[in-house]
Structure 1
Amino acid sequence: MNDGGPDHDVLADAKKLQPLLTRLRRSLHRCPELAFHEHQTAGIIIEQLIKRDIPYDYGGEGQGVVGRLNCGDSDAPTIALRAEMDALPGEEHTGLIFSSQNKGRVHACGHDAHMAMLVGAAILLQQQPVAINTLLVFQPAEESGGGSRTVIETGLLDNVRAIFAGHVTHHYSLGEIMLGQGVVTAQSDRFEIRIQGKGGHGARPHEATDAVVIAASLVNTIQTLVAREVDPLHPAVVTIGEVHAGSAANVIAEEAVLSGSIRTTLSATRDRIHHGLQRMVSAFSALHDARVTMQITAGYPPVVNTEAEVELARKAAEQVVGQQGVKIMDYPSMGSEDFSFYLQKMPGCYVRFGARQKDQRFVPLHSPEFDIDEQVLPVGAAFFSQIARQAETLYQHRR
């Protein structure tokens, strides 16, 4: 009986795959591709599936690759395990010998590791099959575009009982798996504010309406939304990430554009921020005699883990890293994840894998210097394989 410590056979079997998983992760790391253009990446994954006689569905560039581990019983429950294929725009500054060969693109969010983990889980499940069906979902465009919806629209997941995913992070150490119940990531929205003033000569400001001055004042005022209008117990972040204005040093800018993001975990907080932004935009328009307009675009909903699937994931994690390695989330991340769209359709659980040694320098996700300790690859592979084994017990019992 497992006393809460790790099942050494589980992780030992996965560790035998370390050389293979490392090679695969590095191969994927070298060829990062942006959202909906993961052609070479999909080809590498398909090659891995073909090599192992795993049937798959692929609709071409911009679509997901969905492998199928069939147990031979079409009436058996089906679960899904998900990894992302896309990379980020940017340049890599890791100095790794397998750094990105695609200029302006970089795997700075660990999706290369997630894909390798999922292939590793498939190998482990082939070695010791389970009596349920398992879909291996390699999806496009998590970073932008909500590629999970592309997979959902294929109908391939229509009969899935639950879906599971994980993400590497430096917030936890190697040998730790974090999970939480309920809301684990934030709602994200984007907004664009366009300021239309009146251009003029820098020597005669009285003849113009300076869009830059209005923009600068508006940026500062927007920061009071969270500081003074949101309950401090309710998480919220409003960020202005882009400011575009002006054409020359001696020209008063006629137009300025502010682009930003809103992160919230409660719908009431989200509504308050939306209304507050609109109020400020209207007020600045009247105050400065300028045309100030705003467009808000809804982003990814919160990831909301379901109770039974969190318990399933906890048991799987304990078998891999032991009770001491399972970390419970204290509060939601203000990041966002398009895994949320799956969870609007079916139960599931999203976890995080510690991916650095305790004495290793912390590097945040999306940094051009982000890298992982590759020993996390068999940990993730073992976890996903144990998810399927735990699901076999839970969902077969519920048939």
Structure 2
Amino acid sequence: MRLTNDNPMVGRSDVERIYPRMVDLRRLLHRYPELAFEEAQTARMIMEELDRLGIPYEYGGIGGGIVARIAGKSEGATVALRAEMDGLPGVETTGLPFTSLNPGKMHACGHDGHMAMVLGAAALLKDDPPPGNVLLVFQPAEERGGGSRVILRSGALSGVKAIFGGHVTGHYRVGEIMVAPGVLTAQSDGFLIRIQGRGGHGARPHEAVDAVVVAGLLIVAMQTLVSREVNPVYPSVITIGQVSAGSAPNVIAETATLRGSIRTTLPEVRKHLLEGLERMAKGIGDLHNARIEVIVNEGYPPVVNTLAESEIARRAAGKIVGEKGLVSMEYPSMGSEDFAYYLQEIPGCYVRLGARREGWEHIPLHSPAFDFDEEVLKIGAAFFDRVARDAIEAYA
């Protein structure tokens, strides 16, 4: 849905005024994507824009983040707005005239748009400062490495009353904003399973312990952890994404490796699945005289929006897109997001911004063909501007 005369955004000359600049920034950032903890050029472009706007900032260097500060007209609460700087590995296939110029890297998750939105909100807030302070957080490494923890460890968010962030999505149309309290995304844990059998000739299986057979049994058994041991009303997923074993078709593999992920939304379900994974690995290993090692790499925790800040965000979103543009979420996403670390220490709300144009085919995030309707930049900038003002007023 593009902006129409029925949309509350129409007539917002301040947003329309900065829109061309946001488009230019988004396209510039899109051309030069950088991977997690490597965002040197991206940071430089952001700092150049902050300098142009006359907004002071602190930069943690390559692998660090940028935290800018808009001082309020009077003493008031401090709130933060967050955008991510990193792109993803991948070869872009969008065919856009501003396609990635960095081989093997692209902005396939919309972070270029998020940065442009927050910079747009910065321009609005700088022109008319609220009665409180606004921190603009440009963090590294959301996709890999949990860069939000870099910002938190720096102490730059000390004293912040609330933090707000958002993500473009093709699941909703432009002009729609999804705001929901409580659990929004899943806990994400990765795992590595090493199976040690005994190699041998394919013609004499009785002399060997076949790691491929053990791996197959374990793959099938693991799926019953979700299908038969978890209450169906509690979302959970176990995925085996990589399997490697064997050296030749007539050789019984001595070793096999499985790599995968576990997604959960409740701590007790996560605990049960992790313990069940160990239990099944041990049982199948004992059954077939194989040694099985399970290594779990803890991923991002769930994003849990706080109630009061979700209500502030919902009211702010309603002022931008109207009641018809407000979208609720029935079930948590099984994706993950490192905004969760902020919410473990600071109240806040993470929203989703509709970015699909009417008639467009839905292309998922992380696809090499991912793109979004740039009209969402207006919605995002106006929302971030409004939610910062409304939050400061709420904490007065």
Q: Please indicate the TM-score interval, normalised by the length of the shorter structure.
A: over 0.9
CA shift, 1:133, in A, is: 0.3
- Percent identity, aligned pairs only, is 58
Q: Distance in 2 between matches of 1:337 and 1:392?
A: 25
- Hey, what does 1:29 align to over in structure 2? 30
- Hey, what does 1:54 align to over in structure 2? 55
Q: Distance in 2 between matches of 1:219 and 1:229?
A: 16
- Hey, what does 2:39 align to over in structure 1? 38
Counterpart AA for 2:22: L
Counterpart AA for 2:154: T
SS at match of 1:17: helix
Cα pair 2:357 2:373 within 8 Å, conserved: yes
Q: Distance in 1 between matches of 2:124 and 2:290?
A: 63
CA shift, 1:203, in A, is: 3.5
CA shift, 1:174, in A, is: 0.7
- Hey, what does 2:3 align to over in structure 1? none
CA shift, 1:54, in A, is: 0.8
- Hey, what does 1:368 align to over in structure 2? 368
Q: Give CA-to-partner distance per residue, 1:255-305, whole Å, 9 cap, x none.
A: 111111111111111111111111110011111111111011221111111
- Hey, what does 2:94 align to over in structure 1? 94
- Hey, what does 2:21 align to over in structure 1? 20
- Hey, what does 2:152 align to over in structure 1? 152
Q: Distance in 2 between matches of 1:189 and 1:227?
A: 19
What RMSD, in angstroms, separates the aligned Cα atoms of the two structures?
A: 1.4
CA shift, 1:225, in A, is: 1.2
Cα pair 1:11 1:320 within 8 Å, conserved: no
Cα pair 2:71 2:129 within 8 Å, conserved: no
Cα pair 2:36 2:86 within 8 Å, conserved: yes
- Hey, what does 1:388 align to over in structure 2? 388
Counterpart AA for 1:102: N
Cα pair 2:168 2:355 within 8 Å, conserved: yes
Q: Give CA-to-partner distance per residue, 1:146-182, whole Å, 9 cap, x none.
A: 1100000010101100000000001111100001011
- Hey, what does 2:221 align to over in structure 1? 221
- Hey, what does 2:328 align to over in structure 1? 328
Cα pair 2:73 2:129 within 8 Å, conserved: no
- Hey, what does 2:232 align to over in structure 1? 232
CA shift, 1:6, in A, is: 5.3
Cα pair 1:6 1:319 within 8 Å, conserved: no
CA shift, 1:244, in A, is: 1.9
Q: Distance in 2 between matches of 1:365 and 1:120?
A: 23
Q: Distance in 2 between matches of 1:247 and 1:28?
A: 44
Distance 1:79 1:266, change over 3 A: same
Map 1:1-399; keep pairs closer than 5 Å.
Answer: 7-8=8-9, 11-71=12-72, 73=74, 75-396=75-396
Q: Give CA-to-partner distance per residue, 1:301-330, whole Å, 9 cap, x none.
A: 111111111111111111111110011111
CA shift, 1:204, in A, is: 3.1
Q: Which runs of 5+ in 1 are unaligned?
A: none
**TM score, norm. by length of structure 2:** 0.96
Instruction: State the number of aligned residues.
Output: 391
SS at match of 1:144: coil
**TM score, norm. by length of structure 1:** 0.95
CA shift, 1:252, in A, is: 2.3
CA shift, 1:388, in A, is: 1.5
Q: Distance in 2 between matches of 1:25 and 1:200?
A: 57
Q: Distance in 2 between matches of 1:47 and 1:203?
A: 68
Cα pair 2:305 2:347 within 8 Å, conserved: yes
Q: Distance in 2 between matches of 1:231 and 1:336?
A: 21
Cα pair 1:11 1:378 within 8 Å, conserved: no
Cα pair 1:56 1:66 within 8 Å, conserved: yes
Counterpart AA for 2:85: M
CA shift, 1:72, in A, is: 5.2
